[in-house]
Amino acid sequence: MIHLAGPYLLAAALVGLGVFGIAVRRNAVLLLVGVELVLSGALVLLVTTQAAGADRWSAGSVLPLFVITIAAAETVVALAIILTAFRQRSRVDLDEPSGEAP
């Protein structure tokens, strides 16, 4: 027997922490840490549907695998963009105004 309030609270807390991290960080690489936390909150929710016995086609186990793969692909592209921006303007500050690099 398991009470479902725990997983739901964990998912809400992880998404809240992730949004906080996305809003507060000025280093572009650390922005991704917040994104990963939001995605892990989504994973917990998806797996909870399986634990509650309410899923067809094992969606509660298969969809998290898809989410993890897509997150990995997203991280690779995001880091490539950040590193290219760093080579062009030699800083990763998100507060820097757009336009000409100094």
Interactions with other proteins, residue window 7-46 (CB under 8 A): 7-21, 23-30, 32-34, 36-37, 40, 43-45
Q: At a CB cut-off of 8 Å and minimum separation 6, what does 8 contact?
A: 45, 48
Residue (34 or 97) nearer to other proteins, CB: 34
Cα 42 from chain centre:
9
Count of beta carbons in the 10 Å neighbourhood of residue 32? 19
Smallest distance from other proteins to CB 85, Å: 9
Q: Which residues on neighbouring strands pair with residue 27, listed in sequence order?
A: 93
Which of 2, 98, 99, 102 is the binder for other proteins (CB under 8 A)?
Answer: 2
Residue (77 or 99) nearer to other proteins, CB: 77
